[in-house]
Chains A and B, each alone.
Chain A
């Protein structure tokens, strides 16, 4: 079985500060990794994904994430956040040879002016 842990339920940060949203996973098989974002009153949309190759992946809106296999982590980072980044961020995994997407509980990023 697989599980995804997002330890921080809320992350408050001031505008233009850097941010890291943590994601750890547990799986007995290899997985693909994703971050999805849900802006207020909107549906979820893909932010970035890791399938293979370089462990540092870049997504939309200046976000990036690094896959660390030894630590089973896929933390999301942005060097300088904007007010518009205020949203709920979900980490997800998909085990190899399945198409199931398993999500974490989400992290609410609140950016203050």
Chain B
């Protein structure tokens, strides 16, 4: 596709339910990032995938959060037993490759999924 696509754009769920958020990165991008954007909190890093390497999960806030990336393309972020504090905009980004001089370092962001836990 032309850009990073995220679905759904909005999700309202009841406390305690599980949710799945989907990210379709730009074709050919090997790096994929998930961030959480809360009011006044900026962009909180959640998880990062790079090619076939083990993902960097250091930003996941609890074991209720998990993510996978199938076939090096589509990624799904799963939140189990949602809590009200999980309400936020979840952003996905992808980039062509490694950071550094001479490399394509721009991360392209999707429009995000606004999650509301009631």
Interface membership of A43, Cβ < 8 A: yes
Chain B residue with Cβ nearest A41: B111
Interface membership of A26, Cβ < 8 A: no
Instruction: Say whether, besides A32-B105, A43-B112, A102 and B45 are in contact (CB < 8 Å).
Output: yes
Cβ of B75 to closest chain A Cβ, rounded Å = 15
Interface size for A (C-beta < 8 A) is: 27
Contacts across chains A and B counted by CB atoms under 8 Å: 64
User: Chain A's interface: helix, strand, loop or mixed, by majority?
Assistant: loop
CB neighbours (8 Å) of B50 from chain A are 99
CB neighbours (8 Å) of A110 from chain B are none
Contact B35 A100 (CB under 8 A): no
CB neighbours (8 Å) of A104 from chain B are 42
Instruction: Say whether, besides A9-B40, A43-B111, A99 and B101 are in contact (CB < 8 Å).
Output: no
Residues of chain A whose beta carbon lies under 8 Å from any beta carbon of chain B: 6, 9, 32, 34, 36, 42-46, 49, 51-53, 90, 92, 94, 96, 98-106
Known: A44-B109, A100-B45. 7 other contacts (CB 8 A): A9-B40, A36-B109, A43-B3, A43-B91, A44-B91, A49-B106, A92-B43
